[in-house]
Amino acid sequence: MVVKPKYDELNPFHEGLAYFEIENERGFLDQTGSVAFKLPKNWRASDFSEGLAAFEFGGKWGYLDRNDKKVIPPSFEEAAEFHEGLAAVKSKNKWGYISQQGTWIIAPTFDEFPGPFRSGRALVRLENKVGIVDRKGQYIVKPLFNLGMKQPDGVAIAAVIHSTWNRSQRPEFSEGKTPVSIDGKSWGFINEVGKQVIGYQFEEAHGFSEGLAAVKKMERGDLSMAAGDL
């Protein structure tokens, strides 16, 4: 199936539906290219994940299902997609996690955009440092590290910049690891329980993909590839 190029914005398919915008219309296409449903005027939405998509109306975010039913009313300042049954949402300028029923599972106490849950753990930010929490919001590793940022192309890149909020910029594990730094200058990798698996030896470090990560050697200043068992 090919969707003809007529849309102002067209996202990739997620769970069989693709968000579109064309002139004053917004909604979702099915995999035949037909309109599955349109959103009410002045609504916008994100992609589907675990059966729900975040939508925005009047400056507040909620969630709708694949049948265009509003299941969580718009009451949040920002809202991310669901992973492992939890979604990061922002309330009163703090981030926490809710269930698919809209109840708070982890109270909003975190700064900036936290990461999605992977294997029962998530990277969160507090006072410009990253820590690791479990599904109850208990710290596995207290906020200690400089930020690992996720770029739009899906690569987790170690950085202390990009302070402007962006839905694609959040700390996240890639293949069980994430690049971190204590001093903001030398970078290494920790695993999902906070154990250092690759020492602080790089000037720059990107997330793992297919067992390799691009890193910049401090002593040489060039980019090379690091294997997962370095």
> Are 195 and 164 contained in the same domain?
yes
CA atoms within 13 A on the CB side of 62: 14
State the total domains in the chain. 2
pLDDT of 125 strictly over 50: yes
Domain stop point among 110, 145, 168:
110
Higher pLDDT among residues 226 and 58, named by residue: 58
pLDDT of 107 strictly over 70: yes
> Are 190 and 230 contained in the same domain?
yes
> Are 6 and 87 contained in the same domain?
yes
User: Position of tokens 């939508």?
Assistant: 55
Note the pLDDT tens digit of each residue in 45-73: 999 999 999 999 999 999 999 999 999 99
What is the C-alpha separation between 63 and 112, in angstroms, rounded? 20
Domain stop point among 110, 136, 158:
110
What is the C-alpha separation between 53 and 62, in angstroms, rounded? 8
For the four alpha carbons of 60, 65, 70 and 73, in that order, the dihedral sign comes to negative
User: Which residue range(s) make up the domain with 22?
Assistant: 1-110
Beta carbons of 132 and 123 less than 8 angstroms apart: yes
116: nearest Cα among 95, 94, 88: 88
